[in-house]
Amino acid sequence: MGKSFTKSLITSEGSIRSSNRVARTPESVIRDILKVINNSDILSFAGGLPDDSLFPIKYFSEGFNLAIQESGAKLFQYSETQGHQKLRTWIAESYYPESDPEEILLTNGSQQALDLLGRYFLDEGDFVLIEKPSYLGAIQTFSSYGPRFIGLDYRNDGPDPTELKERISRNPTLPKFFYCIPDFQNPTGFSYSVPNRKAIAEICRDAGIPILEDIAYRELNYKNEIPISLSMLCPENTFSIGTFSKTLSPGLRVGWIRAPKERMRELIVQKQAMDLHSPLINQEVIYRFLISGDFQNHLINLKQNYAQKAKIATKLFQEIFGDTIRFQPPRGGLFLWIEFLDETDTNLLFKTALAEGVAIVPGDTFFTAESSSKQLRWNFSRATAEEMETGVKRLFKAWQRLHSI
């Protein structure tokens, strides 16, 4: 951030003066890593990419054809800001009991949903409650609005309700919202226990703090555990953020917000100002697959596949690193969150690992303020079993090298 700010001031195009926002918006370390290693021999476990061999692309191809045959030109014309009516109905019925399609706004992936809610809620200096660690893309876009973050430790059963209560009461003003990922969080893979869900929903509702609940990984529950969501516990106080990026395809860029109905008009106006609307044909292709009857099987297959990969990754780390590390074997999602029990600094490990030909993300990246440098995030959804074995071995070699210096 500092670098970017300096650049704005000393550039030779002194006349082009950018907004304060530019200096406030951190670059995404992960997207930078991904770009650098794109065409190299480095094995990457740094991204959060789903396994593209599992995308139902034949259905997508048929979906485009049938959609164009049946609906023709209107799929390519301007369309409504709120998005595909039937897809909104499907989302409301599938994920939000007793909601209706007027409570759903379709977005360009869940990243746009996060940005739209940041834009909707935040003025500079506002307080925001956030899990520690949290999703990098959310930290990035919220940061651009200049808030002050209040971090809550994400323990393996969720944040401590007592700590939440205390942080709220200690704060000079009411935080604008609590952003949380209660299911198989990115980066930790942790979930909230049911008692914590209930306590946290109640505390936020009573305090008058809107909950921004990100459910990106909720459907990737390997053991079919779908505990009640905060959105179900208090729909009147929760803005739910969803996406088809993890269950179907990130490239189609279809996400959504479910919001209390009386807020929808204002959210739609922001979306208008942001890009008028998202592409209807992409929403149509998703919708066709969802109602084809194959979505449930696709999801079962996806979960089996990721569960298997999680198992392989778990075994490899346990066997190769032994008790130098600690982690919770994933019950869902796409990540291992590995904590070193010795003095390993994962920021240094990141560099030696790259030199050994393997990319990980140091845990520091996912914190808004003080962090421990003891963790790393390992994505297991995309690599093959062989690649994973090679990757973990390379990482171990990098770790050995780091300790022999």
Site for its own copies in 25-84 (CB under 8 A): 25-28, 31, 35, 47, 49-50, 52-53, 55, 57, 60-61, 64-65, 68-69, 72-81
Query: Could you count the other beta carbons within 10 Å of the beta carbon of residue 168?
Result: 20
To its own copies, the closest distance from the beta carbon of 330 in angstroms equals: 21
Q: Contact with its own copies (CB under 8 A): which of 84, 167, 218, 253?
A: 253
- For position 103 contacting its own copies by CB under 8 A, the verdict is no
- For position 355 contacting its own copies by CB under 8 A, the verdict is no
Q: Contact with its own copies (CB under 8 A): which of 88, 197, 277, 377?
A: 277
**Among 200, 53, 187, 79, which residue's Cα sits nearest to residue 133?**
187
Q: Contact with its own copies (CB under 8 A): which of 272, 297, 301, 318?
A: 272
Structure tokens of 294?
């194959």
- For position 22 contacting its own copies by CB under 8 A, the verdict is yes
Beta strands in 174-235 (DSSP E): 177-180, 211-214
| Cβ–Cβ < 8 Å for 76, 83 | no
Residues 162-201 that bind its own copies (CB under 8 A): 174, 176
Binding mask 279-298 for its own copies (x = CB under 8 A): xxxx----------------
Burial of 166 per CB tally in 10 Å (0-12, 13-18, 19+): exposed
The packing angle between helices 280-290 and 85-95, to 10°, is 50
Q: Which is nearer to its own copies, 71 or 94 (CB)?
A: 71
Q: Contact with its own copies (CB under 8 A): which of 41, 98, 236, 343?
A: 236
Stretch that binds its own copies, among 127-135, 272-280, 308-316, 328-336 (CB under 8 A): 272-280
| Cβ–Cβ < 8 Å for 270, 245 | no
Dmax of the chain from CA atoms? 66
Q: Which is nearer to its own copies, 309 or 374 (CB)?
A: 309
Give the separation between CA 227 and CA 218, rounded to whole angstroms: 9
Structure tokens of 80?
């409504």
- Single-letter residue type at 292: S
Stretch that binds its own copies, among 98-106, 127-135, 207-215, 306-314 (CB under 8 A): 207-215
Give the separation between CA 221 and CA 61, rounded to whole angstroms: 28
Q: Which is nearer to its own copies, 280 or 349 (CB)?
A: 280
Stretch that binds its own copies, among 96-104, 208-216, 364-372, 392-400 (CB under 8 A): 208-216
Q: Contact with its own copies (CB under 8 A): which of 115, 131, 183, 219?
A: 115
Q: Contact with its own copies (CB under 8 A): which of 111, 188, 371, 379?
A: 111
Give the separation between CA 181 and CA 159, rounded to whole angstroms: 11
Q: Which is nearer to its own copies, 252 or 395 (CB)?
A: 252
Burial 290-324 (b: 16+ CB within 10 A, else e): beeeebeebeeebbebbbebbebbbebbeebbeee
- For position 238 contacting its own copies by CB under 8 A, the verdict is no
- For position 18 contacting its own copies by CB under 8 A, the verdict is yes
**Among 13, 12, 20, 122, which residue's Cα sits nearest to residue 1?**
20
Q: Contact with its own copies (CB under 8 A): which of 86, 227, 260, 389?
A: 260
Residues 216-235 that bind its own copies (CB under 8 A): none
Give the separation between CA 292 and CA 134, rounded to whole angstroms: 35
Residues 317-336 that bind its own copies (CB under 8 A): none
Stretch that binds its own copies, among 183-191, 257-265, 299-307, 349-357 (CB under 8 A): 257-265
Cα-based angle 95, 48, 327 (whole degrees, multiple of 5): 95
